[in-house]
């Protein structure tokens, strides 16, 4: 394990084959980077197929650095390119792809990708990894995961979906990366629900059994004491026909757990909670599953749906004396889990 203590890179080694149950000890001499009076952060590790290992950092006033950290090899400072942070790297077809973020604190920005055929550069590109307007789908790069499978190699973007205040309400945005070896670009694939086989590397999109909804309502506009909405659902096309408490055509499940994605927002994340109940069971607090409700609107929830008819109830609970509105824009049901 490589880590940093007081700006010095140290190596920790655990004897034996069960590192989780043994004590780690320091090995070798610590190394100091960068060679100036400033600290570094946003650390990452890149393991090259050449057998060399590199420490990535946002250092010296948020300049990106690449440092060789192989045992017995001097740490060298690599490429710098402006006020950037959150470095992550992967290699595809002999080309290095370096994803990084602008420096905007906890506010998302369009993350960029640079490429080079050598870590020494020159680095080219600086293209967006997602449409500029979506600000990397409201996230910031953390690292890239490469799954080398028996059928294909899959590259995955591991992003941090920060709460604007940097609190524990932050979440994650993990998406597959489409790599163009001819254009030297890396583009996030904005799939709403997907899985990857760790053995084959193959991606699979979850099967949808319905369509997204567009109608909007305000839970706080209901009569006093009626803060729960019973949605009228259809099987083929899930659609809110009107705001009502009359039972309508139920949702048909397959008798197992299924992913149900709720697209909603709230007026104030601190003024109340949104929740959902299945067939009259105890409500599941959506904000506990994604406490960034109001900042990040799509929340996937694993629900146990019985075979045949099911009734979903969406509702809100406001804090005492608070005003709280929930806007439900749509529900997407998936056949698998």
Q: Which position has the token pair 């299945």?
A: 278
Higher pLDDT pick, 290 / 4: 4
Residues 143-164: tens digit of each pLDDT? 999 999 999 999 999 999 887 6
Q: Which stretch of 121-125, 152-156, 237-241, 289-293 has the lowest confidence by average pLDDT?
A: 237-241
CB atoms within 10 A of CB 293: 24
Rg (CA), the chain: 24
CA pair distance 54, 86, nearest whole angstrom: 15
Confidence (pLDDT) at 22: 67
pLDDT > 70 in the chain, percent: 70
CA pair distance 194, 156, nearest whole angstrom: 12
Q: Is the dihedral angle over the CA atoms 300, 303, 305, 309 positive or is it negative?
A: negative
Confidence (pLDDT) at 12: 77
Contact between 112 and 64 (Cβ < 8 Å): no
pTM: 0.74
CA pair distance 313, 318, nearest whole angstrom: 17
Confidence (pLDDT) at 115: 95
Residue 76 has pLDDT above 50, yes or no: yes
- Locate 37 and state its tokens: 């009076």
- Locate 114 and state its tokens: 């640079």
Residue 236's contacts (CB-CB under 8 Å, 6 or more residues apart) are 210
Residue 27 has pLDDT above 80, yes or no: no
Alpha helices of the chain — where are they, by DSSP H?
135-138, 286-289
pLDDT grade for 297, boundaries at 50, 70 and 90: low
Query: Which domains does the chain show, CATH number per domain?
Result: 2-205 (2.115.10.20), 219-333 (2.60.120)
CA pair distance 173, 140, nearest whole angstrom: 9
CA pair distance 46, 220, nearest whole angstrom: 50
The residues with which 298 forms a beta bridge, in sequence order, are 263
CA pair distance 177, 184, nearest whole angstrom: 12
């Amino acid at each position: 394990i490589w880590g940093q203590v007081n700006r010095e890179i140290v190596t920790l080694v655990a004897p034996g084959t069960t590192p989780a149950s043994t004590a780690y000890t320091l090995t070798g001499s610590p190394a100091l980077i960068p060679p100036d009076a400033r600290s570094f952060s946003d650390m990452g590790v890149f393991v090259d197929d050449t057998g060399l290992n590199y420490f990535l950092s946002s250092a010296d006033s948020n300049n990106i650095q690449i440092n060789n950290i192989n045992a017995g090899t001097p740490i060298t400072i690599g490429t710098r390119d402006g006020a950037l942070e959150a470095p992550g790297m992967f290699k595809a077809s002999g080309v290095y792809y370096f994803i990084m973020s602008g420096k905007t604190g906890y506010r998302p920005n369009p993350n960029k990708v640079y490429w080079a055929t050598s870590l020494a550069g020159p680095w080219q590109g600086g293209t967006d990894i997602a449409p500029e307007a979506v600000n990397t789908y409201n996230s910031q790069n953390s690292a890239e995961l490469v799954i080398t499978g028996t059928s294909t190699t899959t590259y995955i973007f591991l992003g941090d979906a920060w709460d604007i205040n940097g609190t524990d309400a932050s979440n994650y945005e993990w998406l597959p990366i489409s790599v163009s070896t001819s254009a030297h670009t890396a583009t996030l694939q904005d799939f709403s629900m997907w899985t990857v086989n760790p053995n084959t590397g193959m991606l699979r999109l979850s099967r949808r059994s319905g369509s997204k909804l567009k109608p909007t309502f305000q839970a706080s506009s209901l009569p006093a004491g009626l803060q729960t909405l019973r949605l009228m659902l259809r099987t083929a096309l899930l659609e809110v026909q009107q705001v009502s408490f009359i039972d309508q055509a139920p949702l048909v499940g397959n008798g197992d757990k299924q992913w149900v994605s709720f697209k909603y927002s709230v007026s104030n994340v601190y003024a109340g909670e949104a929740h959902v109940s299945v067939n009259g069971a105890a409500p599941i607090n959506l904000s506990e599953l994604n406490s960034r409700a109001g900042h990040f609107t799509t929340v996937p929830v694993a629900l146990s749906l019985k075979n045949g008819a099911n009734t979903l109830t969406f509702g809100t609970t406001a804090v005492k004396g608070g005003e709280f509105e929930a806007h439900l824009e749509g529900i997407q049901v998936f056949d698998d889990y």
